[in-house]
Chains A and B, each alone.
Chain A
Amino acid sequence: MEFLEQLIQQLINGISLGSIYALIALGYTMVYGIIKLINFAHGDIYMIGAYAGFFATANLGLPFVPALIVSMVVAGLIGMLIERMAYRPLRHAPKIAVLITAIGISLLLEYGGMLLFTPQPRTFPNVLESVTYHMGPFVVNSQQIIILVVSVILMVILTYVVQKTIIGKAMRAVSFDTDAAQLMGIDVDRIISATFGIGSALAAAAGVLVGIYYNSIDPLMGIMPGLKAFVAAVLGGIGIIPGAMAGGVILGVIEALVSGFISSTFRDAAAFAILIIILLFKPSGLFGKNVREKV
């Protein structure tokens, strides 16, 4: 294969992987934007979503789209429940206490999942026909296209919700200045709860897509993608929604190029090296503006 052909194939691989990172990164970034919390349990919500999708297809026999919706609803509710039980009581506690709680929730979900679902990997039933298209020397799988299409649709819906609806306006207001928003009569708790719900639903969609495409889910599947999505969110500028989308895709492409042209052993090192470089040189991320600290 010629260099150029390989490059294009790697870009195809990278973009489909990156759109998954982007979906997960959105949840990180939304929650951070609104309550300045790095929700480390977010990767595990993605796992919960994958399992919800699995039970919806395998046990209830639902086709792809209804299963995706069921899983997004279930994960959204669990995300809201976690916020209500674990984070809301700590709203006025030091940041570090909430962060540690988030790690605790993450471990609870991972090992609780192991107890409930058993550690054995599960395979999704065949709900989406997988067709491989050969376009000249390039190979694209129909499921890769579906991942990309579903991700783009969800991101468009999210952008619409955040920019055009009342709840989106309230979210932006809370994110901009919580106290002022409260004074204007916005129910801050309800808005934070909705943010967790939406972020978790997006992660769940990523979980279902991954489950169907890679055909294997397990209770610890959320750890690595969770960390990578965190890198993606920071890369794009944490708290900024378009930043998370771009960050996810860029990270996916970088990983594909590194393993394709340098060495697969450097892939994860490259991903986390990006995190360090961004934090050193542009902590506000690619899409972030350098704002002065509010006093």
Chain B
Amino acid sequence: MNLKKKVMSMTSLAVGMTMMGVLFAGCGGNDAANSNEIKIGANFELTGGVANYGSQALNGIKLAIKQANDAGGVNGKKINLIVADNKSEASEAANATTKLISNDKVKVVLGPATTSNMLATTQIATDNKIPVIAPTGTNPKITVGEDGKVKPFIFRSCFIDPLQGEVMAGFAAKTLNAKTAAIYVDSSSDYSKSLAEVFTKQFEAAGGKVLLQEAFLQKDQDFKSTLTKIKAENPDVIFIPAYYEEVGKIVKQARELGITAPLLGTDGWDDAKLAEIAGAAPLNNTFFSSHYSIQDSDENVKKFIEAYKAEYKQEPSVFAALGYDAGMMLIDAIKRAGSDDPEKIRKALEETKDLQVGTGVITIDKNHDPIKSAVVLEMKDGQKIFKQKINPTKE
């Protein structure tokens, strides 16, 4: 008897809860239809292997949105940022974008941060006709498919790998007068391999010779055997297009083995951890390309750095700066679209022109990539020194 009663009350409770749930869900639905907020999804690596990148990019985006909301919102509406964590995995990245679009009904998605995770989401966004901005993915395949066609709903707010490869090959051949090079690539990353390809092509076009290409894997600790082999070939420069964690160890071990040649890299090097891992002295005579320099004298860059410091009490990393750029680019597009209709936002994004963002001025080209300058930085006693700014040549 007692038990029966208990079951009864449990059932009614469950029914009651379900009804309440329906009621609330209904509410949510109405809210989205005629609300005074614009829903934007953010799909980032907040946990997992590259959580460092994802969370910093998200910080940048949050700052851009906070500034817009504090200034009264966009078109009179507040921006509501809905964040999803993709755990640094491609399959989870696809799930997160699906969830943002179908459950949370967002109008635009920002992220993920890395190329592989980004690539996993582009088809879903295209199918749902929701524009996506890749804030930090530098692989050309993100915006242009294998068939050579531009993906209509996919945009990016940072430069692409070929530009970095070109910049560093040119820097090696012209500024450093290098005749021979060795390449040491991270064979577990598309980013690294595509950069190695471009570098080889450009460096050989400039009259140089790539003596050998060696490979390592993410999370490797010991690089001495391969470095011993590279040392025996005695190249003028060594190009290491990889991420700072492995690069730090490579630089340290290369110097220990007595390799004094300049070491060259790309934006994956640009993290404060690099100097911690490698040590200040081994990093002397290393150069890498990046998106912006904290020493840039440009007023707008300075303004962004100040605002970021005030908000987070630290200097913005490259990922944070690029996240901020993506946020700015989106806010500008929504303003010009005058609505939160995904198709109108898409069109506005396509027409982005001479927009001032955190790291410079961008104009979107026909491939949905921004035309944007790159900088070359030199490491000196553990500090990044602004070496040169290279403006885009194409188009």
Once A119-B49, A120-B273 are accepted as A-B contacts, the answer to whether A214 and B222 lie under 8 Å apart by CB is yes
Minimum Cβ distance to chain A for residue B73 (Å): 34
B221 near A214 with CB under 8 A, answer yes
Minimum Cβ distance to chain A for residue B232 (Å): 4
- Cα separation A223 to B277 with both chains bound (whole Å): 20
A268 near B217 with CB under 8 A, answer yes
A118 near B51 with CB under 8 A, answer yes
- Residues in B with CB closer than 8 Å to A115 are 47
Q: Which of A10, A139, A225, A256 contacts B221 (CB 8 A)?
A: A225
Q: Scan B212-229; emit 1 where CB is below 8 A from any A CB, else 0.
A: 001111011110111011
A139 near B256 with CB under 8 A, answer yes
A121 near B221 with CB under 8 A, answer no
Flag whether A159 is at the interface (Cβ < 8 A): no
B232 near A6 with CB under 8 A, answer yes
Minimum Cβ distance to chain B for residue A25 (Å): 16
- Cα separation A26 to B277 with both chains bound (whole Å): 29
Once A13-B225, A120-B273, A214-B249 are accepted as A-B contacts, the answer to whether A265 and B51 lie under 8 Å apart by CB is no
B222 near A215 with CB under 8 A, answer no
Once A123-B276, A123-B277 are accepted as A-B contacts, the answer to whether A215 and B249 lie under 8 Å apart by CB is yes
- Cα separation A12 to B249 with both chains bound (whole Å): 18
Q: Which of B49, B245, B258, B273 contacts A139 (CB 8 A)?
A: B258
- Cα separation A76 to B214 with both chains bound (whole Å): 39
B256 near A141 with CB under 8 A, answer yes
Q: How large is the interface on B (under 10, 10 to 19, 20 to 34, 35 or more residues)?
A: 35 or more
- Residues in A with CB closer than 8 Å to B258 are 132, 134, 139
B225 near A256 with CB under 8 A, answer yes
Q: Scan A1-28; emit 1 where CB is below 8 A from any B CB, else 0.
A: 1000010011001100100000000000
Interface residue SS majority, chain A? helix
- Residues in B with CB closer than 8 Å to A132 are 256, 258
- Cα separation A120 to B277 with both chains bound (whole Å): 12
Flag whether B48 is at the interface (Cβ < 8 A): yes
- Residues in A with CB closer than 8 Å to B78 are none
- Cα separation A264 to B231 with both chains bound (whole Å): 14
Number of interface residues of A (CB under 8 A): 41
Flag whether B187 is at the interface (Cβ < 8 A): yes
Q: Scan B177-189; emit 1 where CB is below 8 A from any A CB, else 0.
A: 0000000000100
Q: Which of A215, A220, A221, A260 contacts B226 (CB 8 A)?
A: A260
B222 near A17 with CB under 8 A, answer yes
Q: Scan B84-116; emit 1 where CB is below 8 A from any A CB, else 0.
A: 000010000000000000000000000000000
Q: Which of B88, B219, B277, B278 contacts A224 (CB 8 A)?
A: B219
Once A119-B52, A139-B256 are accepted as A-B contacts, the answer to whether A264 and B222 lie under 8 Å apart by CB is no
Q: Scan B14-57; emit 1 where CB is below 8 A from any A CB, else 0.
A: 00000000000000000000000000000000011111100000
Once A119-B47, A121-B245, A123-B277 are accepted as A-B contacts, the answer to whether A259 and B226 lie under 8 Å apart by CB is yes
Tell me which residues from 91 to 116 in chain A have a Cβ below 8 Å from any Cβ of chain B.
114-115
Most chain B CB atoms below 10 A, which of A214, A255, A256: A214
- Cα separation A2 to B232 with both chains bound (whole Å): 8
Flag whether B372 is at the interface (Cβ < 8 A): no
A121 near B222 with CB under 8 A, answer no
Tell me which residues from 122 to 180 in chain A have a Cβ below 8 Å from any Cβ of chain B.
123, 130, 132, 134, 139, 141
A260 near B248 with CB under 8 A, answer no
Minimum Cβ distance to chain A for residue B258 (Å): 6
Flag whether A210 is at the interface (Cβ < 8 A): yes
Minimum Cβ distance to chain A for residue B289 (Å): 22
Flag whether A218 is at the interface (Cβ < 8 A): yes
Flag whether B257 is at the interface (Cβ < 8 A): yes
- 15 further A-B contacts with Cβ under 8 Å, apart from A9-B228, A214-B221, A264-B216, are A10-B225, A17-B222, A114-B47, A114-B51, A121-B245, A121-B273, A123-B276, A132-B258, A215-B277, A215-B278, A215-B279, A216-B249, A218-B219, A220-B219, A259-B214
Give me the 7 closest cross-chain CB pairs, A-B, nearest first.
A256-B225, A259-B225, A13-B224, A264-B226, A123-B276, A1-B232, A264-B214
> 28 A–B contact pairs at CB < 8 A?
A1-B231, A6-B229, A6-B232, A9-B228, A10-B225, A115-B47, A119-B47, A119-B52, A120-B273, A121-B245, A130-B256, A132-B256, A139-B256, A210-B221, A214-B221, A215-B278, A216-B221, A216-B277, A224-B219, A258-B225, A260-B228, A263-B214, A263-B215, A264-B214, A264-B225, A265-B187, A265-B215, A268-B217
